[in-house]
């Protein structure tokens, strides 16, 4: 089997962590005979600097002709600190999602027993937490009409959703619930927002006509945000719209003790993208201190979801867990006893070799 992978290192620590993921994937290739062809492309601030566009045509072409995409991170302080910047790195991410039809973001949240003390939450709250968030990616307020009044004193961002957009991601979330505990929670704001009422209407209809054996709960986003901190083990599969999902998944990241531990997948009908949920962390760029585990776990999701390499994905996840249990971690997890990005990547790659 030969697969073409678009490699979008992006900004900040993105290129560093993606290098470690490829290091681990190459072990998989040696052990299985599968061949991955890696095609590098620019995105974000790196692309603006070289091609004056955050998602240039050359990158579009490489992504479009690949079997999967590995993506590092996006963002640069020089744009964050300039409210009048006409082009922003994040524009490239939004355009890519729309261009490739990446409509569903999947973010698993789970705790590791060896990291339970790294979380700011109490042990009894986060013990055995294991849930997954399905976030809609191409609709909502991020993609709605935007405008500024002539005098510049009023601005607006429009939130809109169609039934089709809601149904296609809900279908994925319901199917995932089947594989797990048959529990699904829709997070919305149906007491205030018309779009949320449409979400609730669509999900209720699907639950009634197609998924009657799935137990569906409905939570307003403010209540859900509170419960993620006070009772995260109550959740199994969470389904929500774009902005709510953006917020609650970052909130949920504190459960694990580090943003550097959480992978994600962005799924489309023809291609999927795999990335860690952490940002570009520019303060750490080039210092060999960033945590590569979320990127490596994202590569594991790629093996599973894009290439049906379930056994290899399990081995990769086991190697990461073994690294944590052996205290082979970066400084975000342990300020006293830590290792470099490249050392952690090497250790996990060697552990994958041993596990085959």
3-state secondary structure 191-235: CCCHHHHHHHHHHHHHHHHCCCCCEEEEEEHHHHHHHHHHCHHHC
Work out the mean pLDDT of the chain and round it to a whole number.
94
Kindly state the average pLDDT of the residues 104-125: 89
Of 269, 271, 267, 251, the C-alpha closest to 259 is: 251
What is the structure's pLDDT at 112? Answer: 87
Kindly state the average pLDDT of the residues 294-301: 97
Task: Using DSSP bridges, classify how beta strands 146-148 and 155-157 pair: parallel, antiparallel or unpaired.
Answer: antiparallel
What is the structure's pLDDT at 324? Answer: 94
What is the structure's pLDDT at 289? Answer: 96
What is the structure's pLDDT at 306? Answer: 95
pLDDT at 204 over 70: yes
Backbone angles phi, psi at 75, to 5 degrees: 130, 145
Of 209, 212, 205, 215, the C-alpha closest to 180 is: 215
Cα three-residue angle 348-349-351, rounded to 5 degrees: 60
Output the six-digit token pair for 190. Answer: 């149906």
Task: Using DSSP bridges, classify how beta strands 237-240 and 2-10 pair: parallel, antiparallel or unpaired.
Answer: unpaired
How far out from the chain centre does Cα 356 lie? 27
Helix, strand, coil % in the chain, rounded to nearest 5: 50, 20, 35
105 pLDDT band, cuts 50/70/90, is very high
Note the pTM of the prediction, 2 decimals. Answer: 0.89
113 pLDDT band, cuts 50/70/90, is confident
CB 108 within 8 Å of CB 263? yes
Output the six-digit token pair for 39. Answer: 């095609």
Residue range 315-356, pLDDT digits in tens: 999 999 999 999 999 998 888 889 999 999 999 999 999 999
Output the six-digit token pair for 61. Answer: 């072409």
Q: Which residue has the tokens 């960033």?
A: 290
Output the six-digit token pair for 318. Answer: 């086991």
87 pLDDT band, cuts 50/70/90, is confident
Q: Please list, in sequence order, all residues whose beta carbon lies within 8 angstroms of the beta carbon of residue 295, skipping any fewer than 6 positions away.
A: 17, 18, 20, 21, 70, 72, 263, 275, 276
Least confident of 1-5, 86-90, 321-325: 86-90
Kindly state the average pLDDT of the residues 27-53: 95
Cα three-residue angle 44-46-47, rounded to 5 degrees: 70
CB 212 within 8 Å of CB 188? no
What is the structure's pLDDT at 82? Answer: 66
pLDDT at 217 over 90: yes
pLDDT at 78 over 90: no
Kindly state the average pLDDT of the residues 102-114: 92
Structural domains of the chain sorted by starting position, each given as residue range(s) with its CATH number in brackets = 1-103+262-356 (3.40.718.10), 120-255 (3.40.718.10)
35: Cα within 13 Å, side-chain hemisphere: 3
Positions marked catalytic: 142, 189, 222, 246, 250
3-state secondary structure of 80: helix
Of 251, 284, 268, 312, the C-alpha closest to 73 is: 284
What is the structure's pLDDT at 305? Answer: 94
Q: Which residue has the tokens 């570009």?
A: 280
Output the six-digit token pair for 171. Answer: 């279908």
Kindly state the average pLDDT of the residues 256-279: 90
pLDDT at 191 over 70: yes
Residue range 226-264, pLDDT digits in tens: 999 999 999 999 999 999 999 999 899 888 877 788 999
Q: How far is CA 313 from each of CA 159, 185, 268, rounded to the nearest angstrom?
A: 37, 27, 20
pLDDT at 184 over 90: yes
């Amino acid at each position: 089997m030969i697969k073409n992978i678009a490699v979008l290192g992006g900004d900040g620590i993105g290129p560093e962590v993606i290098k470690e993921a490829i290091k681990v994937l190459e072990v998989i290739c040696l052990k299985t005979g599968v061949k991955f062809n890696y095609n590098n492309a620019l995105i974000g601030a790196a692309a603006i600097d070289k091609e004056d566009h955050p998602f240039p045509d050359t990158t579009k072409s490489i992504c479009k002709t690949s079997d999967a995409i590995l993506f590092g991170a996006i963002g640069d302080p020089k744009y964050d600190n300039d409210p009048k910047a006409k082009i922003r790195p994040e524009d490239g991410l939004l355009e890519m999602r729309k261009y490739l039809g990446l409509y569903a973001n999947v973010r698993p949240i789970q705790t590791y027993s060896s990291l339970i003390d790294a979380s700011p939450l109490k042990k009894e709250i986060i013990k055995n937490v294991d849930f997954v968030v399905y976030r809609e990616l191409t609709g909502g307020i991020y993609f709605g009409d935007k405008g500024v009044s002539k005098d510049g004193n009023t601005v607006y961002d429009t939130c809109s959703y169609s039934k089709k957009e809601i149904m296609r991601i809900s279908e994925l979330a319901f199917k995932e619930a089947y594989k797990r505990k048959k529990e699904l929670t829709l997070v919305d704001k149906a007491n205030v927002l018309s779009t949320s009422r449409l979400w609730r209407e669509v999900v209720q209809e699907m639950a009634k006509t197609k998924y009657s054996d799935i137990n569906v709960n409905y939570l307003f986003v403010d209540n859900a945000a509170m419960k993620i901190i006070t009772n995260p083990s109550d959740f199994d599969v969470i389904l929500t719209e774009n902005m709510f999902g953006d917020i609650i998944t970052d909130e949920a990241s504190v459960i694990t003790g580090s943003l550097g531990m959480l992978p994600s997948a962005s799924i489309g009908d023809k291609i999927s993208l795999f990335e860690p949920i952490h940002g570009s962390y520019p303060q750490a760029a080039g210092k060999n201190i960033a945590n590569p585990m979320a990127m490596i776990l994202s590569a594991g999701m790629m093996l599973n979801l894009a290439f049906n390499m379930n056994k290899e994905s399990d081995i990769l996840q086991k190697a990461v867990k073994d690294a944590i249990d052996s205290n082979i971690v970066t400084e975000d997890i342990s300020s006293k006893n830590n290792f470099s990005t490249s050392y952690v990547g090497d250790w996990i790659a060697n552990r994958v070799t041993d596990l085959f």
